[in-house]
Amino acid sequence: MRIPENFLFYLSAHEDCTERLLGRAKGLVAEDLEFSHDVEVVRLRKMVCSVQAEVHRMKAFVRLKALGPHVLYGYLKPRHKIGAHVCDHFARRNPKTIVVLGNGRESWISICFDGKILHDQGRGMADTLEQLRSNLPCSDERWDPHDIWRIYIDSQYCPLRKNAAAFRRRMPRRDQDATGLRLVPNKNGVTLDDFFGKD
């Protein structure tokens, strides 16, 4: 089944969700939403699937950058109300690290510590990062993590696997803009081994 048991979470995150639609959905179970042919239930199913798809794409395509040793940040401008959910996902994957996602208007901040997620919401990402930069200790690093990440991403380019048409179907331009993703082919053939000087 495509519709999860917690479909109300995804429905409530949809940009066009109303109290009336939520009330209608509360009387349904996932199987009803999955198999019904009722016009309104089909609309609810499409709304849930739309949010699920955006969550999936944002988790896959948001690129995190380091701000010192304690903070990771990335650009995120979703259509639906999923910012905190996606930020929590990255916090779970990077425990004891502050994760900030956002754009010029809003930001989401999460940290996972001892299996618990703490999160908050702030104004624009630049303001949030400036507050963190001024309040967190920084340590000297031997190399710039931005360069390592860029070279890693470039090293994943393989012309034999390139299928631009399939990529555009799966990742519309709107979603590329929402994650700040700008794909550039690796014309130099540079790899992480080249960066570290290994054979």
DSSP state of 177: H
pLDDT-based confidence at residue 148 (cuts at 50, 70, 90) = very low
Residue range of the domain that includes 76: 62-141
Within this chain, do residues 76 and 128 fall inside the same structural domain, yes or no?
A: yes
- pLDDT at 190 (0 to 100): 56
161 and 134 inside one domain: no
Query: Which residue bears the tokens 């992480």?
Result: 192
Do 163 and 177 lie in one domain? The reply is yes
Same domain, yes or no: 134 and 113 = yes
Alpha helices in 1-113 (DSSP H): 7-13, 19-26, 30-35, 39-61, 83-93
Tokens coding 94:
């990077």
> Is the same domain home to 118 and 84?
yes
Instruction: Report yes or no: 74 and 65 within 8 Å, Cβ to Cβ.
Output: yes
In the listed set 123, 141, 159, which residue is the last one of a domain according to the structure? 141
Say if residue 138's pLDDT is above 60: no
Same domain for 113 and 78: yes
**Amino acid 2: pLDDT:** 86
Better-scored residue on pLDDT, 76 or 184:
76
Whether residue 2 is contained in a domain is answered as no
pLDDT band at 84 (very low <50, low <70, confident <90, very high): very high
Mean pLDDT of the 56-80 span = 91
pLDDT reported for residue 166: 72
Residues 74 and 134 in one domain: yes
Average pLDDT over residues 34-56: 95
Q: What mean pLDDT is predicted for residues 60-88?
A: 92
Which is nearest to 136 in space by CA: 115, 114, 117, 111?
111
pLDDT at 174 over 90: no
pLDDT for the residue numbered 140: 46
CA atoms within 13 A on the CB side of 198: 4
Spatial separation of the C-alpha atoms in residues 147 and 74, rounded to whole Å = 15
Is the model's pLDDT at 141 over the cut of 50? no
Distances (CA, A) of 44 to 5, 47, 120, 126, 176: 14, 5, 29, 36, 25
Whether 1 is in a domain gets the answer no
107, 98 contact by CB (below 8 A): no
> Is 60 exceeded by the pLDDT of residue 158?
no
pLDDT-derived band at 93 (thresholds 50, 70, 90) equals: very high
pTM over cut 0.85: no
Query: Left (φ > 0), alpha (ψ -120 to 50) or beta: where does 66 sit?
Result: beta
> How many structural domains are present in the chain?
3
Position 143 scores a pLDDT of 43
Q: Which of 50-59, 138-147, 164-173 is modeled with the greatest confidence?
A: 50-59
